Amino acid sequence: MNIEEFIENFASQLDETAPEEITAETRFKELDEWSSLTALSIIAMVDDEYDVIIKGNDILKSDTIQDLFAVVEKKRR
């Protein structure tokens, strides 16, 4: 898995934020549209694309998309 593709998959779950605004350094929980429902669609996307189940705590502890990418990468090993 690579970070570019992960960012693209992440951005595709958002309705109100333009994909080009999303980078590895984006602090996703600070996005205007971020809600518990967005979190659920990210969990579903990670399951679909990477066959990994991330937990609520993984999201709570991650600030940037890079952080979350690292969690998914670790769980895939």
Cα 64 from Cα 59, distance rounded (Å): 10
Instruction: Tell me the closest approach of the beta carbon of residue 35 to another protein, in angstroms.
Output: 8
Instruction: Tell me the closest approach of the beta carbon of residue 9 to another protein, in angstroms.
Output: 16
Q: Which of 12, 27, 53, 61 binds another protein (CB under 8 A)?
A: 53
Q: Which of 4, 30, 32, 37 binds another protein (CB under 8 A)?
A: 37
Our finding on whether 74 is near another protein (CB under 8 A) is: no
Binding segment (CB under 8 A) for another protein, from list 2-10, 21-29, 39-47, 68-76: 39-47
Torsion (CA) 53, 59, 62, 68 in degrees, nearest 10: 30
- CA distances, 18 to each of 3, 8, 12, 32, 56 (Å): 18, 11, 9, 12, 25
Number of other CB atoms surrounding residue 21 within 10 Å: 10
Binding site residues, another protein, CB under 8 A: 35-37, 39-40, 43-44, 47, 53-57, 59
